[in-house]
Chains A and B, each alone.
Chain A
């Protein structure tokens, strides 16, 4: 590890302090991540924790506000039925950019391009750990009105992908069953799920990152929406750097339009 020079140290601290107070734009965030990747000995969240402790001290919590009942109910409805700590790592960086609606148009073109490849009524022999398969089955029982969407993809790099998405607005959770996705090297890249919800925002919602072990065959992946989803229109999979990204440049590896 190359020791830091003072100007470099100050730059990193300025970025960390800005992140902890006003947030960072895409370029600054990239710069900070680059610095931290080169210097993992830094406590990346140290100033955020300091700001949080200070905020707590400055905020008058002796007269607490009460959460309005409708809001409390909405929060509890959105609590996932499964442990959120299971399986997926969630990227927690800020969300700096706004997706253009053209992103959806590009996704729609991909759907049209692969429509001829999809064969309905594929059966899946789940090779995921039994607990995930059990959870999937239980989910379908608990949320019979969950939406289902056919997942399809065909890229020169990865070949044909096929699968199914099930999603419950009530649970704010769901699953992806898929086959054909090649194994990844987690230290180099990870797959990332996205939920397209134009009613909510132009940007797709991060559904979490996941890995495909070697010889995984068919896979079941829980969807953990990072933000509340109102009315999903499609689900997508991309491949990103380890930990995922806040804004994806694509390409879309597979797409599942709701209603397909």
Chain B
């Protein structure tokens, strides 16, 4: 994998920009289609995500995460925002949740993104959790379900879901070898 691609993008290297689209376009597209139920929304979101990526490329710190994880983080922010907006519009309009409307996938010959060691460590971290907690964090992270929806579908208290999500993410963060998130707490 190219090293420092985002750094080149941040410098305005147009060839790096094109390489970035080719390298991460499939990943971003897959993330968007998974989060959003409408193909047109997903495509709109992908454009939005790359515009954000051009603007934030200079903030990538290889000491904190891999490039794919950074791209995924930027994508998730935009997708979560969009999901919340769409949910509010549906509530306002009194619409039922949209039925799944996914266009046919576009399997391609583009090379797979190197998932990188951190992703493997992250999944290994939650594999040690009880199965219900694994289910909760998968729904929250992979499917983008709200905590309220998870609680309703799994018949769990909302507070339990929030605690489990928090605990799982802290576990993942610890497994990635990051410094403690929380400073020393007063007794």
Contacts and interface: CB of A to CB of B under 8 A. Distances in A.
A56 B12 contact: no
10 contacts: A47-B181, A53-B118, A56-B72, A64-B108, A68-B106, A75-B47, A81-B14, A84-B56, A85-B58, A92-B77
B73 A64 contact: no
B184 interface: yes
B58 A50 contact: no
B18 to A, nearest CB: 6
Given A17-B162, A61-B112, A95-B85, A9 B185 contact: yes
B179 interface: yes
A157 interface: no
Interface in B168-187: 168-170, 172-173, 176, 178-179, 181-186
Interface of A: 2-6, 9, 12-14, 16-18, 20-23, 25, 39, 41-43, 45-59, 61-68, 71-72, 74-76, 78-86, 90, 92, 94-96, 98, 172, 208, 224-228
B78 to A, nearest CB: 9
Contacts, number: 267
Contact of B120 (A3, A41, A57, A227): A57
B185 A51 contact: no
Nearest to A74: B47
B115 A49 contact: no
Contacts of B141: 21, 51, 54-55, 58
A227 B108 CA distance: 27
B21 interface: yes
Given A53-B172, A58-B142, A75-B47, A14 B166 contact: yes
Residue of A25, A41, A52 most packed against chain B (CB within 10 A): A52
A151 to B, nearest CB: 23
A64 B56 CA distance: 24
B10 A56 contact: no
A2 to B, nearest CB: 8
A257 B29 CA distance: 35
B166 A52 contact: no
Contacts of B85: 95, 98
